[in-house]
């Protein structure tokens, strides 16, 4: 977009599920991400409007080496799970995850209704994400996720 224009999130491109390889993709097969930042032409950080169905998680529990993340709950309820335990989050609550803090996190929807939230994060080429609960590692280069196991072998 060369000129800023207001838009409805429904017109932004969306991704259903995750980019994880099988069997790791089973964590969120129906999660919907409206890719707002790309639609708005943003390049320094990403913004997604996420719809998380009951019983699914935002992602595998992870932490980022280079990227900050921020989440704002718009509607519904989720459980934030980190190395420190579990916290319930509801509409109007938010949480931030500073880059390099080795505390795996994700959101799980244990309610009977969908949850909606905004996620905002920096974009760093060469970003690494670590998954403490599974044998998975990812490096992002040129906008592509390159998944390996923790030994560095392709998954």
* 45 has pLDDT over 50: yes
Average pLDDT, the chain: 96
CA distance 146 to 141: 8
pLDDT score of 1 more than 50: no
- All domains in the chain, ordered by first residue: 9-124 (2.60.120.10)
pTM of the model: 0.94
Q: Which residue has the tokens 């880059």?
A: 99
Between 1 and 137, name the one with better pLDDT: 137
Please write the tens of the pLDDT for every residue from 97-107: 999 999 999 99
Tell me what the mean pLDDT of segment 132-148 comes to: 93
Q: How confident is the model at residue 29 (pLDDT cuts 50, 70, 90)?
A: very high
End-to-end CA distance of the chain: 35
Burial category of 113 from C-beta neighbours within 10 Å (exposed 0-12, middle 13-18, buried 19 and up) = exposed
Question: How far is it, in rounded angstroms, from Cα 95 to Cα 119?
Answer: 10
User: How far, in Å, are 6, 16, 76, 93, 123 from residue 50 at the CA level?
Assistant: 19, 10, 12, 15, 18
């Amino acid at each position: 977009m060369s000129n800023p224009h207001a838009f409805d999130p429904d017109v932004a491109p969306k991704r259903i599920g995750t980019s994880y390889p099988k069997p790791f993709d089973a964590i969120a097969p129906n999660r919907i991400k409206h890719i707002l930042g790309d639609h708005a032409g943003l390049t320094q950080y990403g913004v997604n409007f996420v719809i998380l169905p009951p019983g699914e998680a935002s992602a595998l529990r992870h932490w980022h080496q280079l990227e900050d993340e921020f989440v704002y709950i718009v509607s519904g309820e989720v459980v934030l799970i980190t190395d420190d335990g579990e916290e319930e989050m509801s509409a109007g609550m938010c949480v931030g995850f500073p880059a390099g803090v080795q505390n795996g996190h994700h959101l799980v929807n244990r309610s009977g209704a969908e949850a909606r939230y905004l996620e905002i994060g920096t974009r760093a080429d060469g970003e690494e994400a670590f998954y403490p609960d599974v044998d998975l590692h990812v490096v992002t280069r040129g906008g592509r996720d390159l998944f390996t196991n923790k030994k560095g072998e392709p998954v």
